[in-house]
Amino acid sequence: MLEYLKNRHFGERAIIICNGPSLNQMDLSFLKREKTIGLNKIYLGFKKFNFYSNYYVAVNKKVLEQSHQEINRLTCHKFLSNRCTDLFQKDCLTHVIKTNNPPARFSTDLLQGMEEGWTVTYAALQVAYYLGFKDIFIIGMDHRFEYNGAPNAESVMTQSDPNHFSPDYFAKGSKWDNPDLENSERSYEIARQVYGENNRRIFDATVNGNCDIFEKVDYKSIFF
């Protein structure tokens, strides 16, 4: 079924919804009017923010393991890494994509695989490209985290989660992988280049976001 989604939204715009605390500072009523791509544990915000994403992306093994029941219940198209294939039901909405040793650093053809790029946001940018979207607006990409240890190392949350829109995102005692912001930025630079070379654009509409890779825009001036 994945091949039928290629360029489904050719020339349209989409919003990639990351999961930073800045989402709590936004008026997200506009999400119901837009095409949206939600990431990881965004389902924790569906009732809170009064919307339901059109598409969903998750590639991190811990997120997939911790969230497989919620992911299986989602009634939107889901793009998942092949890390945990035994946890997910096979249906027309569930697209399991190879993310180990993909053929390209930025994949424009999900049938051949997808690069994780140290951040699910990078995977979502590849999904958005495959779906044909021209302009991408990213929100909730705060690009700042509180953590101990080295990038990519496994950590255990010792308090309410300060890094995401919900304090229960990685609940106290949960395992999670430390972010790698440096490599994430390298991935974003590649995405920006590929989009630009193909007359597409990526905008960062995050409130007070700490990433400087994409052009900054005020979400209110775009969506209200």
Q: In what order do the strands lie in the sheet with 94-97?
A: 94-97, 77-81, 55-58, 36-39, 13-17, 135-139, 201-204, 215-216
Q: pLDDT tier at 91 (50, 70, 90 boundaries)?
A: very high
Q: What is the CA radius of gyration of the chain?
A: 16
Average pLDDT over residues 154-176: 96
> What pLDDT is recorded for position 156?
96
Q: What is the domain class of 2-223 according to CATH?
A: alpha beta
* Matching residue, tokens 């919003």: 15
pLDDT of residue 42: 98
Instruction: Tell me 88's DSSP state.
Output: S
Tell me what the mean pLDDT of segment 132-158 comes to: 96
Global pTM exceeds 0.75: yes
The single-letter code of the amino acid at 199 is: N
Please choose, from the candidates 100, 57, 64, the residue with its C-alpha nearest in 3D space to the C-alpha of residue 84: 64
CA distance 208 to 41: 21
Alpha carbons 201 and 94: distance in angstroms, whole number: 27
Token pair belonging to 107:
């994949």
